[in-house]
Structure 1
Amino acid sequence: MSSENWLVAGLGNPGPRYSRTRHNVGQMVVDELVGRMGAGLARTKVGARMVGARLQPGGPKMLFAVSEGYMNTSGQPIRRLMDYYDVDPARLIVIHDEVDLDFERIKLKRGGSEGGHNGLKSITQHLGGDRDYIRVRVGVSRPPGRMDTADYVLQNFSADERKALPQVLQRAGDAVEHVIADGLTAAQNRVHQL
């Protein structure tokens, strides 16, 4: 029987070159959540930085993690953490950028396709094709004109977006906490109304 642990994984790429790009919004949300707890991420032996915490005393343990590798290799360290801490795929929450949502929109879902997202593809592959994990989809909007999507998500947020970004990260962090505290359906009802 699996443990009651949750793993919250924020997707992105390593290093200062990518740290403030649209593709790294998942890692930014994990930083927001960890900052609320006055904690910091520590390196592990599996290629990820991680910290454990609880929403409240006696509540389920939450493991917050970001991969130290590139987006398309996210699945391996996440799978290793899941195996080590006995996390069921149904208790995995993956936070990622979503070009099919307008900037500032946040949507929650369980399962479904990866929509061309290389981080999600890597996770699904390392879970043996299991897609039964929860996604916190943080909208970054579609690229303008004919700009390539890969180039677009590797750019920093615009000046106007940067002004609104702290609130977006806060709302996405709240969404994660709602999922863990109240369940996915209740969290969707709350988050999708905003």
Structure 2
Amino acid sequence: MSTEPLKLIVGLGNPGPQYRFNRHNVGVWFLQAICQQYQGELRPESRFHGETGRVHIDGQDIRLLFPTTFMNRSGLSVAALCHYFDITPAQMLVAYDEIDFPVGTTRLKAGGGHGGHNGIRDIINALGGERGFYRLRIGVGHPGDKSKVANYVLSNPGKDDSIQIEHDLDQALRVLPVAASGLWNKAMLELHSQSAPPGE
């Protein structure tokens, strides 16, 4: 993977107040944390089918995007913005909920498949099969049964898990300036050492 600086951070989730605190919306929580830290604001932008903003992180001018197309159409929004501003996948970070990680584990990843995540699947399809974007995988845990996953991610985490997820997002924020400048391996090492579960 390249070491290009970031130009876009995407936070995945569903629009509407009924989804705001769902596990499926932790990617949007991350965008909101960035806005709070770097004095940004998300505003509706119809041509990009979402809410957009801009922040400066460690000297980098970075766009923020929350696709408001619902999760399984996230690619429509991402492709529209990337094409308009000529942003390549290697300049993009997508933050989303990861059911294969327990709460308390957050990982940066370079490229790869969709892992069953409908938002990531749609982005890959909308970008013509291009998988070479970075991901911030925010652990939300697994309900234990595949048949329960849909209801699980569309429900709110309990108080303890919510507090832990907020802490996980804070850790990701700490390494964001490193990632924004293109030092991905360094950012990964720093984040993964912070959020490693016991025994890892």
Mark yes or no: TM-score above 0.5. yes
**Runs (5+) with no aligned partner, structure 2:** 195-200
CA displacement at 1:60 relative to structure 2? 2.4
CA displacement at 1:168 relative to structure 2? 1.8
Whether the 8 Å CA contact 1:90–1:134 is kept in 2: the answer is yes
Could you tell me which residue of structure 1 aligns to residue 30 of structure 2?
29
Could you tell me which residue of structure 1 aligns to residue 56 of structure 2?
54
Q: Under a length normalisation based on structure 1, what TM-score does the superposition of the two structures give?
A: 0.92
Letter in 1 for 2:91: R
Aligned partners of 2:18, 2:78: CA distance in 1, in Å? 23
Could you tell me which residue of structure 1 aligns to residue 143 of structure 2?
143
Return closer, same or farther for 1:96/1:146 CA change in 2, 3 Å cut-off: closer
Could you tell me which residue of structure 1 aligns to residue 44 of structure 2?
43
In the TM superposition, 1:82-97 aligns within 5 A as: 82-97=82-97
Could you tell me which residue of structure 1 aligns to residue 19 of structure 2?
18
CA displacement at 1:176 relative to structure 2? 3.3
Return closer, same or farther for 1:146/1:91 CA change in 2, 3 Å cut-off: closer
Whether the 8 Å CA contact 1:5–1:86 is kept in 2: the answer is no
In the TM superposition, 1:66-145 aligns within 5 A as: 66-144=66-144
CA displacement at 1:181 relative to structure 2? 2.7
Return closer, same or farther for 1:4/1:112 CA change in 2, 3 Å cut-off: closer
Aligned partners of 2:5, 2:63: CA distance in 1, in Å? 11
Aligned partners of 1:175, 1:136: CA distance in 2, in Å? 11
Could you tell me which residue of structure 1 aligns to residue 198 of structure 2?
none
Aligned partners of 1:4, 1:167: CA distance in 2, in Å? 25
Aligned partners of 1:140, 1:4: CA distance in 2, in Å? 28
Aligned partners of 1:146, 1:51: CA distance in 2, in Å? 35
Letter in 1 for 2:117: H
CA displacement at 1:150 relative to structure 2? 1.1
In the TM superposition, 1:171-186 aligns within 5 A as: 171-186=171-186
Whether the 8 Å CA contact 2:13–2:24 is kept in 1: the answer is yes
- Where is the helix percentage greater, Structure 1 or Structure 2? 2
Aligned partners of 2:172, 2:10: CA distance in 1, in Å? 13
Percent of aligned positions that are identical? 31
Could you tell me which residue of structure 1 aligns to residue 160 of structure 2?
160
Q: Under a length normalisation based on structure 2, what TM-score does the superposition of the two structures give?
A: 0.89
Aligned residues: 190
Letter in 1 for 2:156: N
Aligned partners of 1:146, 1:132: CA distance in 2, in Å? 28
Return closer, same or farther for 1:193/1:84 CA change in 2, 3 Å cut-off: same
Letter in 1 for 2:102: D
Letter in 1 for 2:130: D
* 1:71-99 CA distance string (max 9 Å, x none): 00101111111111111110110000001
Could you list the structure 1 runs, at least 4 aligned residues long, displaced by more than 4 angstroms after superposition: none
**Runs (5+) with no aligned partner, structure 1:** none
Q: What secondary structure is seen at the aligned counterpart in 2 of 1:17?
A: helix
Letter in 2 for 1:67: P
Could you tell me which residue of structure 2 aligns to residue 6 of structure 1?
7
Return closer, same or farther for 1:80/1:143 CA change in 2, 3 Å cut-off: same
Q: What secondary structure is seen at the aligned counterpart in 2 of 1:108?
A: strand
Whether the 8 Å CA contact 2:11–2:96 is kept in 1: the answer is yes
